[in-house]
Structure 1
């Protein structure tokens, strides 16, 4: 009986190690940009653990990198079902809507992420961008301000807040764009030269 228990324990340990190895291998493929191999490895891992939140999310990101958006969205939605507090899944799901120019639904997903972590500059920036694109300029300005208050080095928020201020003929637009330029945000130089010199 004692040996049977030890044999069972060893089998469980081997299975657990195999699952961990598959996930590590999948992550290595993803990090090296080999998204097709990453998806295959995530698939193998998910055969053993079909509700593994991290593997599902990472597979979704790999699908996204390959432009396979339907598969990516299915994984992000599954992650949200498993863990309704997964900020990354809401952000990725929101980016899908943003890419599709469905700014209302993008803002809806970004807002869910923001509400889960109100100190996230990234969530606030994405929420601002979606509102900006949807023409809700007051909401956009509010969330650009929040994003910058949460991270004084958020060049993207400075750039787009500056562009919005210029569009609305408000003071400080060029200062924001200059700040984005000083932080090193790509495209800030051109915008500054075009509108602020």
Structure 2
């Protein structure tokens, strides 16, 4: 009986270690940009653990990187079913809509993420961008302000708030673009030279 117990514990540990190794391998492929290999490794891991939230989410991200957006969307939906508080899944889901220029649904998903963590400058920025693109300028300005107040290094929020201020002929536009430029936002330098010099 004693040996049977040891054998069972050993088997569980071996199986658990094997699952962990498979997940780590998949994550390494993902981090090195080998997305097709990552998908294959996530699939192998998910055969053993079909409801593993992190593996499903990461596989969705890998699908996204390879342009398989429908499969990515299904994975993000599944993650939300498993854990309705997974902020990353809502953001990724929203980005899918944003990519398709469906800014209303993108905003809907980004707002869900933001409500789960009102200290997330990233969620506030994405929500502002979706509002901005759908022409809801007051809402966009509100969430750019929130994003910047939450994170003074959020170059993207500074840049797009500045662009929106320019569009609305509001003061402080070039200060925002300058801030984005100082933080190192790509394209801010050219934009500043074109509109603020």
Structure 2 residue aligned with 1:64: 64
Structure 1 residue aligned with 2:117: 117
Structure 1 residue aligned with 2:184: 184
Unaligned runs of 5+ in 1: none
Structure 2 residue aligned with 1:76: 76
Q: After the TM superposition, which of the residue ranges 2-11 and 91-100 deviates more from structure 2?
A: 2-11
Q: Distance in 1 between matches of 2:5 and 2:90?
A: 43
CA deviation after TM superposition for structure 1 residue 168, in Å: 0.5
Structure 2 residue aligned with 1:160: 160
Q: Distance in 2 between matches of 1:44 and 1:154?
A: 38
Structure 1 residue aligned with 2:13: 13
**CA deviation string 1:141-166 (max 9, x = no partner):** 00000000000010100000000001
Structure 2 residue aligned with 1:55: 55
Q: Distance in 2 between matches of 1:12 and 1:25?
A: 20
Does 1:24 find its partner at 2:24? yes
Q: Distance in 1 between matches of 2:33 and 2:183?
A: 27
Structure 1 residue aligned with 2:101: 101
TM-score (norm 2): 0.99
Q: Distance in 2 between matches of 1:57 and 1:24?
A: 14
Q: Distance in 2 between matches of 1:6 and 1:182?
A: 61
Secondary structure of the residue aligned to 2:128 is helix
List aligned pairs for 1:118-157, cutoff 5 A: 118-157=118-157
Q: Distance in 1 between matches of 2:153 and 2:33?
A: 28
4+ runs deviating over 2 angstroms? none
TM-score (norm 1): 0.99
Does 1:195 find its partner at 2:159? no
CA deviation after TM superposition for structure 1 residue 5, in Å: 1.6
Q: After the TM superposition, which of the residue ranges 5-14 and 108-117 deviates more from structure 2?
A: 5-14
Unaligned runs of 5+ in 2: none
Secondary structure of the residue aligned to 2:185 is coil
**CA deviation string 1:96-154 (max 9, x = no partner):** 00000000000000000000110110000000000000000000000000000000010
Q: Distance in 1 between matches of 2:7 and 2:188?
A: 63
- Count of residue pairs brought into register by the alignment: 197
